[in-house]
Structure 1
């Protein structure tokens, strides 16, 4: 398989061929001299728009600095022509200088947000304009500088400025530039640029440094803009500061948006627009800025992707042939079950060892005393409830802890790992997947796998195709992730992690969100890696499937390892079992119920899907007024989805939600979602404004809610939410929900990340609300905690209601524990009872 296909070469040749045809028409005198001059200017602008559009479309960087690079090339040409420079020296000097300055801007801007990149490029443009005006010995200042002839050092003759020869050169260079861009589309350069733009963290995990990609993209783009400046000087014959103003910067952005950022034909459309927009404005009798503004607004409103993408979609809709839709159910050929290889011998070399690794984020200890080891061919499972530190641990292995401070020692094949950059760990042989399958949305399935290589060879393509066949993705190789269900995203994430045959494979919740068939296929892939001798570290909450492929299990809770053992025995450890099921604290007894309470809300046959992922299935649930319902399940069981449906923020895919017309529901989301830069009082006020509460009513509601808060928070109403502890933030999040005076309060993971003392305080305050008659739904991972604080408990397992009952029932907790881990539990016939 060739790296550059014949089809792509044929497409790349279209640009130069079109340029040659246009030059032939120009030389035949068919076009009037003035129009021929406009064609030359349009060719110059095509190169310039191409440089801006590909930077925006491929790297996600919008630059205001390109008029400065455009001017740089023009002044190099003018200055060189009057100082006996050769044409080749002018081009090399202009392009080289532009590339160096572009690389500087790209690397500096990569550390900031898009807004700061825009400001940085704006500052560069303003400084450049000032230099153009003040450096009169080189630029001629406001008077400008004439362009003379340029002689070729290679014996190609002399190029006279402001003549037909210069116009031909401009058209030829534009055609060649388009051809080069066509060749770049299937290259690793474009794929890695798009990957870094689409998902910087996932890009780092496959060895792509977003900062380096930004610098490279800006350098190439600036080089093309400088080349366009050389062409402008040749075609016009005179260089002055006027054409390179900030007006040109905004016009360039408008031209890119109009044509279609990142498209090649869009650059031609944008170049024509910049050339003939002044004539069009004059013909309709409006100032050019007004016309450009109207065109840009119209394009953003009606053609947000640009003219060329719109016409492309229209053509595909009109002329495309019917194709068979590849269903998500298409699977690789069935195989006989492959037994898990035995664990490696104790003498097998260790691939990875962590000793007392700790990670802190400010004052928060996310991981402490993390010590694990894994040998070649061994699969180590890491389990624990949400917030136990599992993902932090694997982020340490892949170097993606962000602002966290890492201490301790990590050894990979005996060498220190912690000081190795994240982007270098892929080359060491470490591959990883992500919990939510962080694929690159703007790359095809095949390109998602190929982008892991700096230079793509025929062998790399063959290996990528082989991986797609192994993972059941070959039939969708040319599709984009948005066209595929979630299960195929998971497979793609795995294929990308396996692209360079890692020695250590890290899988973050690979079984989550998959159906039974997909989980079986994934297990086979893991077994294949074990047979190859790959060390595998897996995090997951789907314990049955996890234990089926694991050799050894380490359990974490509150950021620390609490147990280690074989898959079939680890849950016998009381500490491990307690970390999942929890222990009920000493809480005030709930107000009794007599069974006559009216229903506040009913769910009948509710199911919900996200794309191809089934989050809930067949949920029948009645919530009575004044009751506390605990909804329990492992991470990914469907609790948050159920909470959003109960709240009314999410409409179920199927089934029916019926609530009393006067019921007011409020949701406290997982993670609290406070506005960290706002004060405690401002967080409460935002909630009141959203509920339409203002003026005196707002002040009264603030006073009332503040009384519910502990004294230490009432005295700190002006403190930013970010300055509160995790437990205090949770209490504030509940108080924010109370500002609307709800009848039904849904609290998602109220104990997440809190110390035991703060858990008791939060639950104590929720108990007070229950005594005041509020209906409460607790979404919890801890069965023991939910049982101690609820009238009834529902256990969810993989989106279905496995069991429901009252904690007072002596047999219920045993059935609930079984349902929690393996889903085996029958919902009693009274499950639909209010």
Structure 2
């Protein structure tokens, strides 16, 4: 934690306000009958702060804090009757609350927000039952008095219900608020927020979400137990009534009213809790009714809370007064994009840094990776390639410890350490950094905090190092911005900066070039070269082969979870097995119907482009889908096929360009991954699609019978079985049948062969070609080029969102053009496009 003048000034506001308030109390400016309410508001402020920060920083909503509040109050009552000192009571209450809170936080970290709330609800109910039954200690329903507590440190005697505890409560709240200010700027808060916003990414930088939840809950519970001691002292009597479940709900309402996770909002919430009974009496309504009206009003009109709402105009004014930084577009990094130098050769005698042998990862009966082996030397950049579903990301997840429920077997030696025996959170300390395909940054932290949260304790030199790192990757001008305000390219740079913040020995990059334009890819290649020059080894997977090969010393090819080839960047694609893994091999029994005459256009796309939050998925797409044609759209993973499928279907509106249809055209989409309703039966999956299209009654029964006949016999006899019980091929046929039940004019099938064995692929394609014989227009989005060439009348090759080639497979010259376009992306032309 670093203290600067600004931070100290903010932290001093709480004690200063507390001193002024106590001065008013001492001078009589606050009437004696109101001093109790002021002290109660101070106590409630501590409780609301502890609940609000727990929710805002850790994402844990607790209904169990009334129990911790009660623990502190009963410690005060019991201690006062048994000669305990004030310090002993506070220590006992805080320790007990922290231990129980740590347990609840650790146990609840495995569950969703709802289940954590239920867990804390159960804890409060148990605590209330104990209070009622343990009457020898708590007094049961009758309660127990707080007589007095003497200070062992010579601070005097505090009589329960007296004036002195009221001053103590105000002073204690001021100190707690002062502590909260630097805590909000500390690494602790950053790591808590990181664990809340993205648990998997947090693990890769050494943050254990379970430990963070446990720590946060312990601190919150300890603060609430301390507030309970203060409550017992200012009231002079403790009974079960103030600690009911209604109070737990009131606490959450107060947090929302003030502003979840805000310090000043906790003060507003404490004041609201104190004067809510008076407000209810004034309007003549029960407290729960008033509370409900206030809460509904805040949620509808001030969803962020009162304090953030009032602070927003002030922040807007400050932004106008401050100079405006350069726009957060693709501001160039300090180095130039042009003039990339060849990679420096790796040392032949360099020791092996990572050795993986016979690695297998299985999820149930599915083997995502099988008997994979690789070695990576120090000072080497190793590229791993393969089609979608080849097991590349599974390999990286296994190395990072992020396989979840997957069964991992095999060995991995990393710098002399057995990697698979180390926890995922420990692999960062071993020297491994990791990025993600979609730039999984911590959205609730600033750019600078995304880098700083990699440190447990943030020192001044850490902030200097973070600033230098952000300058090196071209993010210095947006250090105080949230990632959501930045385009995708800058988010990718931030993901890289976070991964290299602690100078790892091995940097693992998951599709770093995906979604970037040519300039951004060149910048990234420069960063990878610079890391290699500094001695970092790199393991990288990607589908953008040109850029990937430009930074790799050696290339390893995967397919169907196995290693199928290895070589240098300029030779690996010469391996027939590697080439066929991308392009596929022709097989199956499907025979296309002959095209006769000119077909009318059923769907036309003109100048179509689409972006996702700054990521360009499609650019300048002009495409005609002719009636009765089987159109194949081939391309590697990330080429933009699924985006194009959504636009052809009409379910996705393009960012620019026009989609037109030749009259009334009904389209239907069988999406990638099938997207079945796994808990529903086969028949129910079909019915849901029919209901969505407005088909009911007799037409529905007719469509069900017709569609069922299209399915193979082994599925017709199992229509009442849940979809989860089907094999991959059977699920694919059900997904297609679900798309067919609406009787579409155009059927669009996205990656029908994904994850299927060759025999099942042939069966699925045979059935699709039979639909073409029946006159249905079919659009197939396929990763394997040769498969598309074998079953389609026309083929379009997508590469990085543009049409790189288009033609008819029957033209002998088109196969060569299509293959070159598939890999290089250079726009190809052929006479067969007519």
Whether the TM-score (by the shorter chain) exceeds 0.5 is: yes
| Aligned-pair CA distance for 1:10 | 1.1
Partner Cα separation in structure 2 for residue 829 and residue 17 of structure 1: 82
Partner Cα separation in structure 2 for residue 492 and residue 320 of structure 1: 24
Query: What residue number does 2:142 align with?
Result: 143
Deviations 1:447-494 (A, max 9, x none): 001111111122221221111111101110010001000000100000
Pair 1:327 & 2:332 matched: no
Query: What residue number does 2:309 align with?
Result: 310
The worse-fitting range, judged by mean Cα deviation, of 737-746 and 333-342 is 333-342
Partner Cα separation in structure 2 for residue 801 and residue 790 of structure 1: 17
Query: What residue number does 1:528 align with?
Result: 530
Query: What residue number does 2:648 align with?
Result: 646
Task: Give runs of aligned pairs for residues 541-690 of structure 1, distance below 5 A.
Answer: 541-690=543-692
Give the secondary structure class of the aligned counterpart of 2:812: coil
| Aligned-pair CA distance for 1:825 | 2.8
- Aligned residue among 367, 379, 395 for 2:381: 379
Query: What residue number does 2:504 align with?
Result: 502
Partner Cα separation in structure 1 for residue 758 and residue 694 of structure 2: 37
Q: Give unmatched runs, 5+ long, in structure 2.
A: none
Query: What residue number does 2:95 align with?
Result: 96
Partner Cα separation in structure 2 for residue 518 and residue 242 of structure 1: 62
Partner Cα separation in structure 1 for residue 417 and residue 67 of structure 2: 47
- Aligned residue among 404, 407, 415 for 1:405: 407
Contact 2:325 2:477 in 1 (8 A): no
| Aligned-pair CA distance for 1:250 | 0.9
Contact 1:381 1:546 in 2 (8 A): yes
| Aligned-pair CA distance for 1:163 | 2.5
Give the secondary structure class of the aligned counterpart of 1:418: helix
| Aligned-pair CA distance for 1:378 | 0.3
Query: What residue number does 2:173 align with?
Result: 174
Query: What residue number does 2:164 align with?
Result: 165
Contact 2:343 2:551 in 1 (8 A): no
- Aligned residue among 700, 705, 708 for 1:706: 708
| Aligned-pair CA distance for 1:829 | 7.8
Query: What residue number does 1:298 align with?
Result: 297
Partner Cα separation in structure 1 for residue 175 and residue 742 of structure 2: 64
Pair 396,319 (structure 1): closer, same or farther in 2 beyond 3 Å: closer
The worse-fitting range, judged by mean Cα deviation, of 429-438 and 157-166 is 157-166
Partner Cα separation in structure 1 for residue 65 and residue 444 of structure 2: 25
Deviations 1:95-145 (A, max 9, x none): 110000000001111111222111111111110010011100111000001
Give the secondary structure class of the aligned counterpart of 2:714: helix
Query: What residue number does 1:5 align with?
Result: 4
Partner Cα separation in structure 2 for residue 771 and residue 163 of structure 1: 92
Give the secondary structure class of the aligned counterpart of 2:754: coil
Task: Give runs of aligned pairs for residues 731-770 of structure 1, distance below 5 A.
Answer: 731-770=733-772
- Misfit runs of 4+, over 6 Å: none
| Aligned-pair CA distance for 1:319 | 5.3
The worse-fitting range, judged by mean Cα deviation, of 767-776 and 612-621 is 767-776
| Aligned-pair CA distance for 1:734 | 1.3
| Aligned-pair CA distance for 1:754 | 1.0
Partner Cα separation in structure 1 for residue 534 and residue 510 of structure 2: 20
Pair 1:432 & 2:434 matched: yes
Deviations 1:10-61 (A, max 9, x none): 1111111111111111211112222221111111111001111011000000
Task: Give runs of aligned pairs for residues 57-456 of structure 1, distance below 5 A.
Answer: 57-318=56-317, 320-321=319-320, 323-335=324-336, 337=339, 339-456=341-458
Contact 1:341 1:531 in 2 (8 A): no
Pair 33,827 (structure 1): closer, same or farther in 2 beyond 3 Å: farther
Partner Cα separation in structure 2 for residue 470 and residue 324 of structure 1: 18
Contact 1:377 1:529 in 2 (8 A): no
Pair 288,350 (structure 1): closer, same or farther in 2 beyond 3 Å: same
Give the secondary structure class of the aligned counterpart of 1:693: coil
Contact 2:554 2:566 in 1 (8 A): yes
Task: Give runs of aligned pairs for residues 28-43 of structure 1, distance below 5 A.
Answer: 28-43=27-42
| Aligned-pair CA distance for 1:711 | 1.3
Contact 2:343 2:550 in 1 (8 A): no
- Aligned residue among 446, 459, 462 for 2:461: 459
Give the secondary structure class of the aligned counterpart of 1:584: coil
Deviations 1:47-100 (A, max 9, x none): 001111011000000011000001111100111111111111111110110000
Partner Cα separation in structure 2 for residue 760 and residue 634 of structure 1: 21
Contact 1:195 1:443 in 2 (8 A): yes
Pair 804,595 (structure 1): closer, same or farther in 2 beyond 3 Å: farther
Partner Cα separation in structure 1 for residue 312 and residue 706 of structure 2: 57
Partner Cα separation in structure 2 for residue 41 and residue 693 of structure 1: 63
Partner Cα separation in structure 1 for residue 301 and residue 775 of structure 2: 52
Contact 1:340 1:527 in 2 (8 A): no
Pair 829,53 (structure 1): closer, same or farther in 2 beyond 3 Å: farther
Query: What residue number does 1:470 align with?
Result: 472
Contact 2:411 2:420 in 1 (8 A): yes
- Aligned residue among 814, 822, 831 for 1:812: 814
CA RMSD of aligned residues (A): 1.4
Give the secondary structure class of the aligned counterpart of 2:354: strand
The worse-fitting range, judged by mean Cα deviation, of 304-313 and 49-58 is 304-313
Partner Cα separation in structure 2 for residue 736 and residue 509 of structure 1: 33
Contact 2:808 2:832 in 1 (8 A): no
Partner Cα separation in structure 2 for residue 407 and residue 334 of structure 1: 43
Partner Cα separation in structure 1 for residue 829 and residue 37 of structure 2: 78
The worse-fitting range, judged by mean Cα deviation, of 218-227 and 736-745 is 736-745
Contact 1:647 1:666 in 2 (8 A): yes
Partner Cα separation in structure 1 for residue 700 and residue 288 of structure 2: 47
Count of aligned residue pairs for this structure pair:
831
Contact 1:194 1:443 in 2 (8 A): yes
Contact 2:104 2:120 in 1 (8 A): yes
| Aligned-pair CA distance for 1:636 | 1.1
| Aligned-pair CA distance for 1:350 | 0.4
Give the secondary structure class of the aligned counterpart of 1:354: strand
Deviations 1:276-327 (A, max 9, x none): 1111111111111111112222222222211112222233335531624523
| Aligned-pair CA distance for 1:340 | 4.0
Partner Cα separation in structure 1 for residue 193 and residue 624 of structure 2: 48
Give the secondary structure class of the aligned counterpart of 2:390: coil
The worse-fitting range, judged by mean Cα deviation, of 334-343 and 267-276 is 334-343
Partner Cα separation in structure 1 for residue 68 and residue 597 of structure 2: 77
Deviations 1:735-787 (A, max 9, x none): 12222222112111111111111111111111122122222111111101111
Query: What residue number does 2:802 align with?
Result: 800
The worse-fitting range, judged by mean Cα deviation, of 729-738 and 572-581 is 729-738
Partner Cα separation in structure 1 for residue 640 and residue 831 of structure 2: 22
Contact 1:818 1:825 in 2 (8 A): no
The worse-fitting range, judged by mean Cα deviation, of 715-724 and 607-616 is 715-724
Partner Cα separation in structure 2 for residue 715 and residue 472 of structure 1: 61
Contact 2:384 2:556 in 1 (8 A): yes
Partner Cα separation in structure 2 for residue 10 and residue 562 of structure 1: 63
Deviations 1:522-576 (A, max 9, x none): 1111111111221110000000000000000000011101100000011111111
Partner Cα separation in structure 1 for residue 726 and residue 611 of structure 2: 36
Partner Cα separation in structure 1 for residue 597 and residue 540 of structure 2: 45
Partner Cα separation in structure 1 for residue 400 and residue 87 of structure 2: 46
Contact 2:326 2:477 in 1 (8 A): no
Contact 1:815 1:825 in 2 (8 A): no
Task: Give runs of aligned pairs for residues 711-726 of structure 1, distance below 5 A.
Answer: 711-726=713-728
Partner Cα separation in structure 1 for residue 643 and residue 4 of structure 2: 47
Contact 1:26 1:36 in 2 (8 A): yes
Contact 2:328 2:478 in 1 (8 A): no
Give the secondary structure class of the aligned counterpart of 1:112: coil
